[in-house]
Structure 1
């Protein structure tokens, strides 16, 4: 019995997820090159102006510099058609600069949801919702006045 496209796509994302949780930037970059389409459409509140695969690589470099023990726990997975949705709980200790905040040593825990689109077994699109406000509050960031900052390329 052959694996369904949805099962293949979930397995591809699990491979990416396992690389991310390794904390090894070289392995993460290698896995991104193998499982992510070159023209990745990446829409999430990420601290980078890059696009495609490079945006994803830069996100993990920034996150792991700031939170070297970062862990992403997948709490729910839903697959339908060419998309897989993941609801995650992220934890880590703030030991490096992040979004202009000096290291605090504080632990953060926040939620995120990603809709991942696949083409021919590779990740071709990612749309994410990350609870950045909870993340920043836990780090002691000052309250924000006015509307949220405008989304830039690859940020929303």
Structure 2
């Protein structure tokens, strides 16, 4: 049976994704400022030119510009101690430049897995694996 901490951490992570799914930049910015520690550490294979919470703002600005209707559908949400793991399916319509690709109008669907470490009611560290290959393939940027 999950502890109160694990239940609370899962709800925090789900709240962040509910904000993201509004597509409203102001709502997303407010959620980031409330739920993400200013000195958050991001571990990702994609280059993020900003440190800390500014990295979150950078990523979501980039994603909203590329996919203004982006939706993150959490498939599994698992918590243990101070960590939450989410396996999600992401959908969006490519309406803006993304990773050097001009808008195509195509809808993309891709998978991602994120682990978040939470302390004092804020996300303090994340590790993410995003299927960028699936995105680029669906955008016609690469063929395999």
* 1:44 and 1:127 in contact (8 A); partners too: yes
TM-score (normalizing by structure 1): 0.87
TM-score (normalizing by structure 2): 0.93
Question: CA shift at 1:50, angstroms?
Answer: 0.9
Equivalent residue for 2:7?
7
Pairing 1:137–2:144 present: no
Equivalent residue for 2:52?
52
Question: What is the rounded CA distance, in whole Å, between the counterparts of 2:138 and 2:45 in structure 1?
Answer: 17
Q: Which runs of 5+ in 2 are unaligned?
A: none
Question: What is the rounded CA distance, in whole Å, between the counterparts of 1:143 and 1:49 in structure 2?
Answer: 28
Question: CA shift at 1:120, angstroms?
Answer: 1.3
Any idea what SS the aligned residue of 2:21 has?
helix
Equivalent residue for 1:154?
none
* 1:5 and 1:121 in contact (8 A); partners too: no
How many residue pairs get aligned? The number is: 142
Inter-CA distance 65–47: structure 2 relative to 1 (3 Å threshold): farther
Equivalent residue for 2:38?
38
Q: Which runs of 5+ in 1 are unaligned?
A: 145-156
Question: What is the rounded CA distance, in whole Å, between the counterparts of 1:107 and 1:45 in structure 2?
Answer: 23
Any idea what SS the aligned residue of 1:14 has?
helix
Which structure has more relative contact order (CA 8 Å, sep 6+)? It is 1
> What are the residue-to-residue correspondences of 1:14-33 with 2, within 5 Å?
14-33=14-33
Shifted more, 95-104 versus 38-47: the winner is 38-47
Any idea what SS the aligned residue of 2:49 has?
coil
RMSD, matched Cα = 1.4
